[in-house]
Amino acid sequence: MHIAKRLEKVPPYLFMTLRNKINAARAQGIDVISLAIGDPVDATPDRVVEALAAAARDPENHRYPTDEEWGMLAFREAVARWYGRRYGVALDAKKEIVALIGSKEGCHHFALAVVDEGDTVLVTDPGYPGYKPSIWFVGAEPYPVAMRAENGFLPNLSEIPSEVAKKASAFYLNYPNNPTGAVATRAFLEELVAFAKAYDIAICYDNPYSEVVFGVERLSFLSVPGAKEVGVELNSLSKPFNMTGWRIGMASGNPDIVGAIAKVKSNTDSGIFNAIQYAGIEALDHCDAFTEHMVGVYRVRRERMLAALDGLGWRFDAPKGTFYLWVPAPKGYTSASFCELLLEQCAVVSAPGAAYGVNGEGYVRFSLTVAEDRLDEALRRMTERLPKLEFD
């Protein structure tokens, strides 16, 4: 049987690998606690569930979704209201927003929409593992742009060789960042817009963690002057409203890129179930307080884990965004070997930094998307069972 050669470049998807490890351990009767995957365990708001149920009972919504190419106009209008209220960004719901089956789909469709075979595409390293396969699938090549602790895990755009920038057609970035938890500054976003204009590069700014920040400004790429001239922002209802399984998000910004994504999408699927879009409207219009509540929940868990890590000897600058902690691996361990130690000694699963790119080696990512009692148990095991750790 012939299998497409493009798949040879794609490693096993990190989170499927982690799930397989978790399932294998649990099959042996081990009480595994996963701090590896960013999937909130807290419930979606009741009013959103009720909106879904009511819309699902309407036979009109059992047909193909409304405006399947772009998404329901009423949903896109709710997106525009949310962006205006939360970020001061004005969007034309008819031309500058397309509904997505989550922002992950947008990463893939962006590549199909703006990248040609043989192109160079800039991508931050470490970075979300889904970006590179989207680039490979269209026959292009990713060019890793290093993110380092000394620069706040922001890429130093001046380090990108001019000959590479001239060849690049697109750039994938993600802040607040998965996996590092770093947040972008307004000054950096302004520099990014200028860089994109100078080299005619389309920006894919993946922003599903936009609401999850601690003590710093919530930022949209689109709030920077000129951003809509050079790119789009992807966002999702997954993180602010605990709707990861609902698969609904949006791409917003440059109307030409948004239109191209809509064209790709209309030839790929038939849109998002209307009832989910109606539920999304409810979330966007009425659940700001819920989002603030969840950020408070993550803040408490974050402080609890930082205190435990401090007691174990970790010293690092805590990230200001996402519900992840990106921590250095102890002396004598690679990112993978320390994750293996955690699993073997504590039955705690974490994500090795090397899985996010070569510049992720030497780090481990912990997720705070677990219930408090399970987090406490994981931290108790780490405190009691880990050997004495040393750090550089």
Contact criterion met (CB below 8 Å) for 127 and 174: yes
In sequence order, what are the beta bridge partners of 370? none
Predicted confidence (pLDDT) at residue 30 exceeds the cutoff of 80 = yes
Q: Cis check for the bond before 328: say yes or no (omega within 30 of 0).
A: no
The whole-number average pLDDT for the span 293-315 is 97
Residue 158 pLDDT exceeds 80: yes
Report pLDDT for 15.
61
Separation between Cα atoms, residue 177 and residue 377, nearest integer Å: 27
Q: Is the pLDDT score of 67 beyond 70?
A: yes
- Give whole-number Cα distances, 90 to 78, 93, 147, 340, 389, in Å: 12, 9, 31, 47, 50
Work out the angle between the directed axes of helices 335-346 and 372-385 (0-180°, nearest 10).
100
Per-residue pLDDT at 192: 98
Mean pLDDT in residue range 33-53: 96
Percent of the chain with pLDDT over 90: 91
**What pLDDT score was predicted for residue 116?**
98
* DSSP string computed for 132-164: HHHHHHTT-EEEEEE--GGGTT---GGGS-HHH
Does residue 16 surpass a pLDDT of 80?
Answer: no
pTM for this predicted structure: 0.95
Residue 19: pLDDT band by 50, 70, 90 thresholds?
confident
Mean pLDDT across the chain, nearest whole number? Answer: 95
pLDDT band at 392 (very low <50, low <70, confident <90, very high): confident
- Length of the chain as a residue count: 392
Whether the Cβ atoms of residue 234 and residue 107 lie closer than 8 Å to each other: yes
Residue 11: band (very low, low, confident or very high) from pLDDT cuts 50, 70, 90:
confident
pLDDT digits (tens, 9 = 90+) for 163-173: 999 999 999 99
Question: How would you class 307 by CB atoms within 10 Å of its CB: exposed for 0-12, middle for 13-18, buried for 19 or more?
Answer: exposed
CATH architecture for the domain at 46-286: 3-Layer(aba) Sandwich (3.40)
Domain boundaries, the chain: 5-43+289-385, 46-286
Contact 295, 212 (CB under 8 A): yes
Residue 14: per-residue pLDDT: 64
Check: CATH 3.90.1150.10 for 5-43+289-385? yes
